[in-house]
């Protein structure tokens, strides 16, 4: 049986998995985002050819195409370098702020490494020194910086200083920022806001738009005759209910097609199985990607009803693991970020003058979260729970 699977062919559904894994290498256009891409391209052209710096803020919920668009733009700029000499001196750097740690120090150190092509200390130098290193390295170039999930940076203490220093630096640097939080400007100081360009809103996809997007992926990625419009519409309708999440829709189509491998036809029951797997895997992967103290904080809130109690549990857990606990303020910030990620839910209850305001925590699927956390923490610390 394994030989038939290795060879493929009989009953196969997926024609080209690269369509789902690396769509930028396949698609030459992005449906329903053409206007945004064109306007951004004009700003880039003015920057490259006329020295007009710009800063854009892409806002929208998860799965509305923000990251896809900037990766597409980044890729197209690299391709244009072979056609237009004005772009030869353009240097680009993409950073996902959450993935690198989210602190001003972490983001700037990674950005400096990318733009200087050298190893940069992550500690021991101030933020201004990073900017100076960048300015020195790119003085003959034009730089476009892409900051994905910038809300995790801005919501940190002094996070918007990074933006201010880049936007006001005496260098040819333009910035495109991406945020899932449409209220991100509320966290920025006036001096930063005055340097920012316009916000670009990515509206959620509706069911019809998602169906068309899925049709494109199916056309390029699946064998003809292995799917029908009814199945694509079913996936689109499910994803449209979750604020038009195209990323989820495409992932569901890909996983359902994998489950249908060998059967030659993609059915609704394959999609239903993919939905269950997707929700489980998404939660586990989100937990695994969390920084260490975020995991400890999450484990603490699973056993508590409110943030104050959770911090006490967290402090005791740090003592057991011989780790220095974070302050209550920093811990509370982490809890807010976990809420933003959708892993937990925070409810604020005002009990009046006598009771004050308390943050209560709701955690669904506690058993699966605990299992993922304990396995992951055991691997990292060698500590058995």
Residue 65 annotated as binding site:
yes
Domains of the chain: 1-20+205-286 (1.10.8.60), 33-201 (3.40.50.300), 290-381 (1.10.10.10)
Residue 258 is predicted with a pLDDT of: 95
Residue 67 annotated as binding site:
yes
Q: Which residues of the chain have pLDDT under 70?
A: 1-9, 350-357, 379-385
Task: Retrieve residue 54's tokens.
Answer: 């710009």
Residue 47 annotated as binding site:
no
Residue 6 is predicted with a pLDDT of: 61
59 contacts 199 by C-beta, under 8 angstroms: yes
The model scores a pTM over 0.85: no
Residue 187 is predicted with a pLDDT of: 85
Residue 205 annotated as binding site:
yes
Residue 68 annotated as binding site:
yes
């Amino acid at each position: 049986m394994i030989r038939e699977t290795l060879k493929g062919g009989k009953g196969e559904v997926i024609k080209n998995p690269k369509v789902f894994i690396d769509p930028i290498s396949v698609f030459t256009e992005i449906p329903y985002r053409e206007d945004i891409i064109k306007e951004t391209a004009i700003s880039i052209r003015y920057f490259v050819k006329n020295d007009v710096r710009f800063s854009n803020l892409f806002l929208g919920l998860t799965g509305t195409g923000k990251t896809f668009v900037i990766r597409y733009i980044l890729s197209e700029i690299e391709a244009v370098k072979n056609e237009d000499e004005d772009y030869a001196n353009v240097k680009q750097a993409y950073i996902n702020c959450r993935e690198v740690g989210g602190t001003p120090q972490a983001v700037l150190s990674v950005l400096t490494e990318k733009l200087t092509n050298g190893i940069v200390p992550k500690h021991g130098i101030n933020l201004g020194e990073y900017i100076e290193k960048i300015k020195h390295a790119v003085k003959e170039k034009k730089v476009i910086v892409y900051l994905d999930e910038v809300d995790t940076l801005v919501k940190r203490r002094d996070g918007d200083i990074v933006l201010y220093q880049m936007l006001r630096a005496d260098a040819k640097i333009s910035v495109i920022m991406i945020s899932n939080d449409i209220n991100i400007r509320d966290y920025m100081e006036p001096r930063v806001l005055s340097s920012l360009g316009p916000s670009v809103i990515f509206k959620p996809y509706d069911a019809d738009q998602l169906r068309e997007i899925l049709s494109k992926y199916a056309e390029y990625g699946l064998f003809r005759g292995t799917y029908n419009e009814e199945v694509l519409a079913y996936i689109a309708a499910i994803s449209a209910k979750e604020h038009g999440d195209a990323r989820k829709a495409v992932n569901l189509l890909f996983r359902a097609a994998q489950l249908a491998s060998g059967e030659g036809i993609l059915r609704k029951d394959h999609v239903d199985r993919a939905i269950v797997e997707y929700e489980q895997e998404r939660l586990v992967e989100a937990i695994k990607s969390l920084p260490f103290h975020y995991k400890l904080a999450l484990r603490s809130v699973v056993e508590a009803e409110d943030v104050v109690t959770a911090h006490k549990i967290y402090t005791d857990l740090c003592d057991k693991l011989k780790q220095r606990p974070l302050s209550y303020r920093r811990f509370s910030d982490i809890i807010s970020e976990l809420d933003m990620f959708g892993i937990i839910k925070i409810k604020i209850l005002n009990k009046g003058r006598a009771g004050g305001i308390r943050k209560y925590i709701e955690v669904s699927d506690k058993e699966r979260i605990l299992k993922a956390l304990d396995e992951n923490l055991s691997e990292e610390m060698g500590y058995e729970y």
